[in-house]
Amino acid sequence: MKPLNECHILVTPASYGQHDVGLKRELEAVVGRVTYNETGRQLSSAQMAALLPGVDGCIAGLDTIDAAALAAADSLRVVARYGVGTDSVDLVAARARGIVVTNTPGANAGAVAELAVTFMLLLARPVLGAAAATRAGDWPRTSGLSLGGKTVGLIGFGAIGRKVSRLLSGFDCRVLVVDPSCDTERAAGLGATLVPLDELLATSDFVSLHTPVMPETRGMVDAAFLSRMKPGASLVNTARGELVDEAALYAALASGRLRGAALDVFVAEPPGADSPLLSLPNVIATPHMGAHTDSATTTMGRMALADCLAVLRGEEPVYRVA
């Protein structure tokens, strides 16, 4: 086994150590070489393949680490995901090559939950448009909805969904939940009610997605799903773009059947200025920023660093995925 002080580490997230420079110092002090992603963007399979030769450990963002990229990894022993999702990593290919994959569950839950609730408030009240109009010298008469007393449906009740439910308790919202791994008592203990999907869609004023991408959830928000939503409801997605059929969502929004949508994630990132969804005035779009707060990025960085170094020392990581 190669000594830690001879190991080469690749760090791809641009926000690694952004709010705590000690993270970079700690890493650089114990390994032989560190390479940082200087592009400021998530890397493609080809870009990863060009960087991975000679790398022993990778602290990875949402970069594409598929079989083609891993084929170029001649000494890679660990991919420590800086975040919870692992859909950008080919876990089967990693296992076949004896590469350990870890993640950072719960580290960004509070940050993403806060953004989800912020989205609900912005969808309820025309704050962004009114602020822009006022700055331009206008003084528009605006009206909106109150979040208080509304019904919010959460699809997925993991760490993020549970935090969203807690935040919404301060608004006296009725919170409905769909999650096959959650039971009625657990949901009730967190102020939510477990219901069938059809009931959630038919009665929720806001539907917020908090489920990972799996075969059964990929593209789940399709035309049929959207047609079952309450007329005038809004969709919030801070999870993964692959959960949503974007063409179907565009149609539902353009027709006026849905009030609006707030999206922090897209199927293709960035979606491009020509994305039909970005042309709609009732869409709020942000650049996958849900996890990017000072506390969340620092916690993710520390968890990923700890597990990356553990594997390179020959120890079992705390948050092993594969």
Domain boundaries, the chain: 4-107+293-312, 109-285
Angle, alpha carbons 82-213-90 (nearest 5°) = 60
pLDDT score recorded for residue 143: 94
Q: What is the pLDDT of residue 61?
A: 94
Residue 182, token pair as written in the block? 């959650």
Report, as residue numbers or ranges, the catalytic residues.
Answer: 240, 269, 288
Q: Which residues of the chain have pLDDT under 50?
A: none
Half-sphere exposure of 210 (CA within 13 A, CB side): 33
pLDDT at position 308, please?
A: 98
4-107+293-312 with 109-285: one CATH topology?
yes
CATH architecture, domain defined by 109-285 = 3-Layer(aba) Sandwich (3.40)
19: tokens are 């709010």
Contact criterion met (CB below 8 Å) for 55 and 77: no
Cα–Cα distance list, 115 to 16, 92, 104, 190, 295 (Å): 20, 32, 19, 19, 14
CA dihedral sign, ordered 251, 254, 215, 201: negative
pLDDT tens figures, 78-127: 999 998 889 899 999 999 999 999 999 999 999 999 999 999 999 999 99
pLDDT of 1: 86
- Superfamily designation of domain 4-107+293-312: NAD(P)-binding Rossmann-like Domain (3.40.50.720)
